[in-house]
Structure 1
C-alpha cells in the first residue's frame, strides 16, 4: 500500500476528479494501438536535444543505483525500454490498462503497472528518479502541486525528476486548455493543459523540489508548440 505522509497534500477524491481519471483512462484505452504505432520509436527517433536530455537524466539516476526509476505515463513502453538499454533499473506506470498490455507485449523483459502518478503505490524514499514525458499535460493545474508532492514523497534524497511537455505561450497566460473529442479516428474525451516552464517550476517549488534546469526547444517540422524540459531534484 502507499505509505501515508500527513504532510503530503492529497488530491481530493471527488466524484468530478474520479470521472476525469476515468475519461482519460478510457480515451487512452481506445487509441492505444494507434498511439503505440505512432510513437513506438520515441526517443530513439526524436530530436537529438530531446534524446540527450533523457540520457543526461539516466546519468543522474545512476548515482542512486540500485534504486529504480519510474517512467510515469509510460504508454507503449518505448522510453522505459530506452532507459533499460542505458543500464537503468526502470519500470513503467500508466493509467491505461490497454497501454500497459501493449507495453508488456512489446517489452516482456520489463515491468509495467497500471496506476496513476497522482497516487503512487510505493513507499517513501523508494525511487532513484522519476521520468514523466508528456504525461503531466493531462493533470489539471489545481492538482499539480499535490502530484509533485507525491513525486517528492517517493524519491530518495537527491533523486531527480525530468518532465517534458508542450509549452504554453506566455502571451496566453499561465495555461492553455484544450479538449479533444476525437483522435486517431476514435471518440475520446481528453483534456490537455499547455503551461510555461516557469509555471511548472513554480509548482515544483511548492513541493520542495529544487529546480536544476529549464530547456525550451522551438517547434520543428509538424510541431505546433515548443517543447519544454524541466529538471528538478529532491534535497539531498
Structure 2
C-alpha cells in the first residue's frame, strides 16, 4: 500500500549544507529557523499553537534522497565503528527519509504567509515539512526510560576564536550559532586528522576551523560566495 504526502511548509535555516548540522535538536540553542507554511495554510491552521512551548516537526531528509538507505548504519555516538539497525537510530538514511524534530517555538508571525520561528534547530535550509504537532509534556516526556546506546548529551569541544584572522564583523547571535554548532564536533565519528582544515557553510558565511584534541580553533570567517 502506498500513500502520497504533500509538503505543508519549507524551512529557512542557517545550515546551508549537511556538514555542521547539529545531530539532534536542542543541542545548538542559538540555531533559529523559520518554518514558512504554504500560502493555503492561513492563520486558522495555527490558531492556539502559540500557547505551546515546543512543537514536533515532521520533515523529509531531502539532502540525502539520492543516497538510498541501509538496514544497518554506523551511529556517530558509537564512534562510527559499530553497526546498529536503522530503526534503532536517527540516521537520515531511512526507507522513507522521514525525520522528526522537537523544536522550541519562539513566536508566530502572520502576513502573506504564516511563519513559525523555532530555536534549537537541526534542519537543513530548504527542508520540506510534512506535519506540525504541539508537544504535550505529560504524555511525551519520559525521562526515566531506557535510552539504549545514547547515554547522555555528547561532550562538547572547547571553542577558540583566532580573531586576528576573521575580517568580518559578526553579531553576538551569529557568533553563538557558529560556536555552538562547531562545539558539537561535526566531523565524521571515525575521522581525527588534527592538521585538517574543515569548511562549513553556515548563515551567510564560510567558516574554516581546525580540531585538535578537544579544542576547535575557528581560523577564518568570510562571506559565502554563491
Which structure features the higher share of helix residues? 1
The interval holding the TM-score normalised by the smaller chain is under 0.3
Normalised to the residue count of structure 1, the TM-score between the two structures is: 0.25
Which of structures 1 and 2 has the larger relative contact order (alpha carbons within 8 angstroms, sep 6+)?
A: 2
TM-score, reference length from structure 2 = 0.26
